[in-house]
Structure 1
Amino acid sequence: MFEYHGWISLRSTAEAVDDEPPLRLPEIRAATDELAGYALLDLQPLNGQYSIHLGGKPNHRGTHGPAILDLFRKVGRLAPGSYGLLHVHDDEDPLHADEFRVYRLARGVLTEHREPLLSPVITTLEDAD
């Protein structure tokens, strides 16, 4: 299974104040629309600031795994002041099958890290067979 849960707080730049400069919202919405209809995906204003929330559990990484990471990268290019986290567990990943990975978006850059609070999956979350 490929499980993912994430969020992004949208900011046009790291210096943005009160949405100045304005977000490139039509382009960001187009990027989210590419994934719409498959799993949880929401782009909404929260207290005046737009946020993206997403999550899903497809049987396999397939094309959705790369597409979700691409969404984070696109948002980083379109709104480099945005920040957020994406937690992923892919039990078919040959290097990380027993751990959650966390992707961090900050200042337009997406980086990958081991998620220490949910890893290893076996013993932390599940019993061994």
Structure 2
Amino acid sequence: MFEFHGWLAIQGSAAREDDEPDQDVLRRLVESASGGSSLVDLRWINGELFLHVGGLLNRRSSEADEVVDLFERIGSVALGSYGVLYYRDDEKPGNDGNAFHVLAMRRGQVTEEPDGHLSPVIPRLEDPYSPEDD
């Protein structure tokens, strides 16, 4: 399973001097990750450009990889961008699926950070599995 939720405020630079990112490049990036069963939405809100993504896939697939790649590639073309992508991946090596992970973007640079808000999923969000539940 691969669950993800995220947003980006897309800015051409951190200077905030009307330095807009190349919208054609951004549209092509978003179109390459659009499709499937996920939300990928690029839109202007009150004069600022935002990307919102979300989805729940049965398996980690190329669609999941495209969303993570999209997040990272936007930072490389819009150097003032910032936001977060929360994801939970039970197929990631060394991961039992009991934690969310956070990709945080600041000034276009992406770092992976531990989550302290929703993790551990059990017991914070879900009850432990019990064979009696079947």
What is the rounded CA distance, in whole Å, between the counterparts of 1:61 and 1:80 in structure 2? 28
CA distance in 2, matches of 1:120, 1:57: 18
Deviations 1:48-92 (A, max 9, x none): 001000101111111122211111111111101000100001122
* Structure 2 unmatched runs, 5+: 130-134
How far apart, CA to CA, are the structure 1 residues paired with 2:120 and 2:13?
A: 36
Deviating runs (4+, > 3 A) in structure 1? Answer: none
Once the two structures are aligned, what percentage of the paired residues are identical?
37
- The residue aligned with 1:118 is 118
Bigger radius of gyration: 2
Q: How many aligned residue pairs are there?
A: 127
TM-score normalised by the chain length of structure 2: 0.90
Q: Could you tell me which residue of structure 2 aligns to residue 41 of structure 1?
A: 40
> What is the match of residue 76 of structure 1?
75
Q: Distance in 2 between matches of 1:57 and 1:22?
A: 32
Amino acid at match of 1:76: G
Taking the aligned partners of 1:30 and 1:49, their CA distance within structure 2 comes to 18
Tell me the amino acid that sits aligned with residue 105 of structure 2: L
1:25 and 2:23 equivalent? Answer: yes
Q: Which amino acid aligns with 1:95?
A: G
**TM-score calculated relative to the size of structure 1:** 0.93
